[in-house]
Amino acid sequence: MMTVSENRKQFEQWTLDYQNQKERADRLFSRISTFRILTFLIGAAGLIVGITEKEKSYATLLVIAGVLFLLGFVALVKWHSVVAERQESLTEKWEVCRRYCNRFTDGWRKFEEKGTVYLREDDCVAADIDLLGENSLYQMISVCHTEKGKQTFADHLTTRYIEEAEREQRHAAIKELSGKPEFAVEFETAGRRMEAEKEKFDAEAFEDFCGDVAQGKLPAFAHVLRFLLPVCEIASLVLFLTGTISYGYPLAGFLALLVISWLTKFMTDGIIQPVYYASTVSGEYEVMLSLVAEQAFQSEVLARMQQRAGGATGAVRAYHKLKAISQAYNISFNPLVHQILCGLLLWDYQLAAVVSRWKKTYGTQVAGCSDMIAELEDLMSFSVLGMVRETGEGQIDYTETEVHLEGTNLYHPLLLPDQAQGNDVTLGSGITIITGSNMSGKTTFLRTVAINLVLAYLGAPVCAETLKASYMRIFTSMRVKDDVAHGISTFYAEILRIKEMAVYRKEEKPMLCLIDEIFKGTNSADRIVGAKEVITKLAGSRCMTVVSTHDFELCSITDKNQTPAVNYHFQEYYEGDELRFDYKIRDGRCTTTNARAILRMAGFEV
């Protein structure tokens, strides 16, 4: 597996390479356009002159030359289409690589997909620690382009819990994907191209159709008709051509087949159209599944996907066959040809029979394919972090009765690596008080702990050298807002959040409470009394309560067993008259303040 710096150089080089290739393709596209027009004009002129001047000795040569130039025009049209396809592919690959490059900087903050639509109003944790929404983890690492993939990724960030066995499988898959940047680019490119067609295709409805044995079956009488009637029609046509019967018999048969096709079109379309609509994205589905089928995956989850995608009856072959069916159905958009084929062969019946056979052979493989692609997009999104940040592996203990957390060089994934300060941290059950000056890093530290725990819970790499922790349900009280419409003040909104913690605390299940500047919405006297009462009630062997505060009085708090709180602090330092922070966590309580210095920084004389 390449290092982060090697990954960055690789993506930067690919971005440059695809840009150069696209520029060459653009020039070729322009030249072909010019030659195509000239070839058509020369060919048309040669034919016209050759036909109108047919008595001239050179007329035949002009006609031949005209035909050849027109054939050249047809070839150039096809070549033009191939180059246009390549242009689109190169553009998407360039964009994918550029987005990866932006993840090494703050450029990802301009990505349009933020996951805000999936942010529930009651999910305070996702908003507090930037899992979803503006400047969030979702915005930074999501490579999902199917609706189901986006929903799956957001659901994991919202649920923040999976079973231990599943976590281990996910961890192995995500780790393997982190070492496959080329596969990541190719797969996301296909996803981006498919996204443009998503409004034309309901994947869930199509897969329901494929998985339902009752749908897509041509009735027995239709099979009889599709064989017997065309045979009779063709036989009557042959007899007419040999002079055995009059033209009235084949004509009557033709009209009869045409009427039958019209009257039963609802039946044949009910079988054909679900498959045809799927063909709008079948090309990109085939590309995505082919990429999966061609990989030599080692992890259990990915190997299972590879096996399902490949093989003689695998999903790749199913979608490849789907393209041929859709091309046959396209004949229906040429009314004249379509009516002739229906009158001679009961064309729609023949095509419906082909679809029925396709569904019988491949239906079970296709059903659930969008779920598989969504799952892979979810896993790949989490693997992005391992490509663009220095990461380690999280170890989660599901069995410990007393909660704990130990991290080495733990840092925030959404900060630039050269600006993020790593910290070694050990937290246990009971009460932890964090004090420090304004802007010194207290809140960021709380978010760093929480977001890395979420990553570890979901089997993703963590932004730390090591992280060992108990599984704990995470509760937060950070970005507390008032609600004017419902008459809820900031202080009362915070009380409601802490009440939720207290209710869960009674269940004696592992939990982590992260409270930033507790009860800052009320006066200092009530705040200290209220905070002591709340923190004492939350404390316990199965509850890790971490509180940041400016109230030094809380540093001496004890739990019900008279166990004193563990104190950590952040501090500032000065370079001349300039206020500076190193964002390093230290043992003990803070002994300094900096409010006046910050006011002076803002231009106030104090």
Choose one of 50, 80, 104: the last residue of a domain.
104
What does the alpha-carbon distance between residue 339 and residue 343 come to, in Å, rounded to a whole number? 6
Examine the domain organization and report whether 87 and 222 are in the same domain: no
Using CA of residue 153, residue 154, residue 155, residue 156, what is the dihedral sign?
A: positive
Residue 606 confidence (pLDDT) above 70: no
Single out the residue in 104, 131, 159 at which a domain terminates. 104
343 and 428, same domain (yes or no): no
pLDDT of 546 over the 90 cut: yes
User: Is there a single domain that holds both residue 320 and residue 399?
Assistant: no
208 and 295 inside one domain: yes
- Number of separate domains in the chain: 3
**Residue 156 placed within a domain:** no
Evaluate whether residue 20 is within a structural domain. Answer: yes
The 10s digit of each residue's pLDDT in 434-460 is 998 888 889 999 999 999 999 999 999
Domain stops at, among 104, 132, 151 = 104
Find the range with the poorest average confidence among 83-92, 580-589, 594-603. 594-603
Q: Give the DSSP H/E element, type plus range, for residue 205.
A: helix 203-211
Together in a domain, 438 and 575: yes
In a domain, 130, yes or no: no
Query: Residue 10, exposed/middle/buried by CB under 10 A (0-12, 13-18, 19+)?
Result: middle
pLDDT of residue 515: 95
365 with 397, same domain: the answer is no
Cα 300 from Cα 193, distance rounded (Å) = 28
Read off the pLDDT of residues 131-145 as tens digits, 9 standing for 90 and up. 999 999 999 999 999
Which residues on neighbouring strands pair with residue 558, listed in sequence order?
Answer: 564
Domain co-membership, 364 together with 412 = no
Q: Quote the pLDDT of residue 198.
A: 57
Q: Check pLDDT > 80 for residue 200.
A: no
Interior CA angle at 187 toward 182 and 191, to 5°? 150
pLDDT at residue 45 greater than cutoff 70: yes
pLDDT reading at 229 higher than 90? yes
In a domain, 62, yes or no: yes
Supply the pLDDT for residue 46: 87
* Residues contacting residue 166 through CB under 8 Å, at least 6 positions apart: 459
- Look at residue 451 in the predicted model and tell me its pLDDT: 97
User: Residue 595: which domain range?
Assistant: 390-601
The answer to whether 322 and 279 are in contact (CB under 8 A) is yes
Percent of the chain with pLDDT strictly greater than 90: 57
Rounded distance between C-alpha atoms, residue 132 and residue 34, angstroms = 49
CA nearest 292: which of 319, 324, 274, 326? Answer: 319
Answer whether residue 355 is part of any domain.
yes
143 within some domain: no
| 451 and 505 fall within a common domain | yes
365 & 502 share domain: no
CB within 8 Å of 507: residues ≥ 6 apart: none
**From its phi and psi, is residue 346 left (phi > 0), alpha (psi between -120 and 50) or beta?**
left
Kindly report the pTM of this predicted structure. 0.86
* Total residue length of the chain: 606
pLDDT band at 506 (very low <50, low <70, confident <90, very high): very high
Cα-Cα-Cα-Cα torsion 456, 458, 463, 469, nearest 10 degrees, comes to -10
| Surface-to-core class of residue 559, CB atoms within 10 Å of its CB (0-12 exposed, 13-18 middle, 19+ buried) | buried
In 308-392 the beta strands, taken as DSSP E runs, fall at none
What is the domain-level CATH number for residue 572?
Answer: 3.40.50.300
Could you read off the pLDDT of 320-355 as tens digits, one per residue?
887 788 778 888 888 888 899 999 999 999 999 998
In this structure, the answer to whether residues 410 and 548 fall within a common structural domain is: yes
The verdict on residue 188 lying in a domain is: no
Same domain, 397 and 305: no
pLDDT digits (tens, 9 = 90+) for 11-32: 999 999 999 999 999 999 999 9
- Residue 428 and residue 399 share a domain: yes
Residue with tokens 């950070």: 478
Output the average pLDDT for the chain: 89
Q: Three-state SS for 462?
A: strand
Pairing of strands 404-410, 466-470: antiparallel
- The pLDDT, as a whole number, for residue 201 is 62
| 192 domain residue, yes or no | no
